[in-house]
Structure 1
Amino acid sequence: MRKPKITVIGGGTGIPVILKSLRREDVAITAVVTVADDGGSSGELRSAMQLTPPGDLRNVLVAMSDMPKLYEQVFQYRFQEGDGALAGHPLGNLIIAGMAEMQGSTYNAMQLLTKFFHVTGKIYPASESPLTLHAVFQDGHEVVGESSIAGYEGMIDHVYVTNTYNDDKPKASRKVVDAILESDMIVLGPGSLFTSILPNLVIPEIKQALLETKAEVAYVCNIMTQHGETEHFSDADHVAVLNRHLGQDVIDTVLVNIDQVPQEYMENNKFDEYLVQVDHDFEGLRRECKRVISSNFLRLEKGGAFHHGDLVVEELMNLVRSKRP
């Protein structure tokens, strides 16, 4: 039998956790990575070179590669304050940017780098053009730019993307639509709902492919609410926002962590983006999706509350095996 095909869609620090564990399974992996980041090193390089931001692609590349630990440390090294124009830039971002200039696009650069670093699977930027994220709040105010969204006080109603440097309609990268349509499973997240996951899904071609695919669509729900994005959200609220942006109930399965983050841990660590643990609304979840998998997926590390990749992937693999003939 052929390997199950699993496509993971998202960005930030969330999906690398899943991809790192998934690459140890006998599956064909495709990662579709957001290109709407306009902050930090990625934002500077994107603005200077008009390329798709490299930061999320860098983290995915490391997660899916068998590169030795030393190579990873070199690739992830971030120049220190006081290093002039290089300050704050991870070396890997500069390598991806340089390769993009050599190869004519970030898409081409990533295809070469996946071979260079012996990546298990395929990595595609969601679009071959940098995108600008727009957030429309419930009071009608609109914020332009992913890095600016958390700074506005209010509840987000919806988001959409535009091409950053021209007026063309945003398009999916080549092969992304085919990957979605040919998958046995689509995994959304984990990651920031409005700034890591949805910027991919509101690209018209990707949205349409998700509506048409026969793949199982699984969403790994965030453990913590996020400042400026999902304050006071339950797990059902997260899924409702995804389904609303897609235009119908697309999410088949939701994975929910039920392990409690210790209060002492939260008090002793500064969660710069986090607020509180996501509330559970299992009745609401049953209205929004077909299946809920609730288990202990929590991993406490470096002052943060993350998903335990191996435990999440174990459930995903059980699900994909049960769906195959």
Structure 2
Amino acid sequence: MKLNLCIKLNFMKNPAQLTPWLTGKHVNRQSQSGPSILFISGGSALTSFCHTLTKSTQNSVHLITTFDSGGSTAELRKHFNIPAIGDIRSRLITLANDSLPEIRHLANLLNYRFPHQAKPQNLKIELEHILTGEHILTQKLPLGLLNFIQHTLQSFFERKPANFKLNGASIGNLCLVGCYFSHDKNLDSCIEVFSELLDIKGKILPVLDDDYHLVAELESGSKICGQHLITGKEVNPIASPVKNLFLTQDLLFHTPQQPKTSQKVIDQIMQADLICYPPGSFYTSVIANLLVSGVAEAIHENPCPKVFLPNTTADPEQLGMNLTDMLSQLNQLGKCTKLKILLDEKDSSYPFSTQVDSLNCGSEIIKLDLISPHSQPFYDTKKVVDALLNLIPDIKAK
């Protein structure tokens, strides 16, 4: 399936030209203002915070894990041996400037998934409608933006094997993979292109641009390889607490490895005004970032406040853990012994003991009104964002 596309690869490699061309508006992302709050989390738990967050700062930084192995991401990683890009796509969309209609149309398309149960012939027809601009989600796209989507999809399908299954595949993921290959397998460059197109209010950084998987050693002695087998969302939850977590490229023998993050990630961590471990899957979304060499060291070196927001609902990965256990993991792997723990003052929503023993005496528990009647049992995003901003010294002093 080939199309004669009017957008060329060398044009696509200059993202600074793309947004003005597509929207007619000159976007200067360098002028984005507000404090730099860096979130150590790659999962969907932070999605609800992003819209509220962008009203207070357009300079948040999101360190995203690239180790997911479930759903349609598994199909992409199996065939292309690439880092996971699903959480990157999701965070790009949640930080997008949805005040512009062109960007709303683009976000809707990137969020779209092919039906899980559709027949291959029907999927092929629907794909053709996207590539020709006849699909309902492409009809309102400006011509230049449609050409860009066509180009990235064409880049993907020129490389996809014949046995690749489109069922459940996200259009956004396919576009990101096509862009990834068009940019010589440089994930940062690919993210920058989509950040410009979506005019995102913040920065997104992959913690690692390489093909690694998570392995959990359980207290029972067994090992589980693959994020989707650990998190308890696609399969039954783990039956034994996690004893150790590490990264591997060796899916057969599970040899532990500790790859190094990029200097760009280290610099962003060092420049942050506040570092937050937000709610989310504790091991696969939060702790996983700390397994990459350079991340914990940079967190430790930055003197800014470090904040932990525990989950308010049960997390299958935290089997058998209380707050002390969580802090021990963050202190050990994150090299951070002076965490500020934000808890709701009612202290009744947490599915674990919130008592902290003397081993974590360097940590400070701060109890605030963080859960409102309309948000319970989850955090009220406005209350949490305000609480984080108030912990940044320069802002608190104003």
What TM-score, normalized by structure 2, do the two folds share?
0.69
Q: CA deviation at 1:312?
A: 1.0
Structural mapping, 1:19-38, within 5 Å: 19-26=50-57, 28-38=59-69
Q: What are the superposed Cα offsets for residues 41-89 of structure 1, whole Å, 9 maximum, x if unpaired?
A: 1221122222211111011101111134443332211211233422111
What residue is the counterpart of 1:266 in the other structure? none
Is 1:133 the equivalent of 2:222? no
Paired residues of 2:270 and 2:299 also in contact (CA < 8 A): yes
Q: Which amino acid aligns with 1:237?
A: D
Matched, 1:161 2:250: no
Q: Which residue of 2 aligns with 1:180?
A: 269
Given that 1:130 and 1:164 are in contact with CA atoms closer than 8 Å, whether structure 2 keeps it comes out as no
| Secondary structure, counterpart of 2:60 in structure 1 | strand
Q: Which residue of 1 aligns with 2:386?
A: 314
Q: Which range moved further: 230-239 or 7-16? A: 230-239
Partner-residue secondary structure (3-state), 2:38: strand
Q: Which residue of 2 aligns with 1:89?
A: 169
**1:241 — aligned with what?**
329
Q: Is the 8 A contact 2:330 2:336 kept in 1?
A: no
1:45 paired residue among 68, 71, 76: 76
Matched to 1:253, the amino acid is: K
CA distance in 1, matches of 2:250, 2:396: 41
The alignment yields a C-alpha RMSD, in angstroms, of 2.8
Q: CA deviation at 1:300?
A: 6.7
The more displaced of 48-57 and 156-165 is: 156-165
Indicate which of 206, 224, 231 corresponds to 1:143.
224
Q: TM-score, normalised by structure 1?
A: 0.83
Q: 1:298 to 1:259 in 2, by over 3 A?
A: farther
Structure 1 residues 117, 248: closer, same or farther in 2, change over 3 A? closer
2:83–2:210: 8 Å Cα contact kept in structure 1?
A: yes
Q: Cα 1:300–1:47, aligned 2, differ >3 Å: closer, same or farther?
A: farther
Structure 1 equivalent of residue 342 of structure 2:
255
1:128: how far off? 0.9
Q: What one-letter code is carried by the residue in structure 2 that aligns with 1:78?
A: R
**One of 291, 294, 313 as aligned partner of 1:224:** 313
Aligned residues of 1:17 and 1:307 also touching (Cα < 8 A): no
User: Does residue 73 of structure 1 match 2:162?
Assistant: no
Number of residue-to-residue matches in the alignment: 305
Does the 8 Å CA contact 2:41/2:63 hold for their aligned counterparts? yes
- The answer on 1:16 being equivalent to 2:47 is yes
Q: CA deviation at 1:236?
A: 3.4
**For residue 301 of structure 2, what is the aligned residue in structure 1?**
212
Name the one with the larger strand percent.
1
Query: Quick check: which has more Rg, 1 or 2?
Result: 2
1:117 aligns with 2:198: yes
What SS is found at the alignment partner of 1:238? helix
Aligned AA (1:74): L
Secondary structure, counterpart of 2:189 in structure 1? helix
Residue deviations 1:211-261 (CA, integer Å, cap 9, x gap): 21112111111111222x1124333332222223235525x2112244756
1:291 to 365, 381, 384: 365
Structure 1 residue matching 2:361: 3-state secondary structure: helix
Contact 1:52 1:128 in 2 (8 A): yes
User: Identity rate of aligned residues, in percent?
Assistant: 23
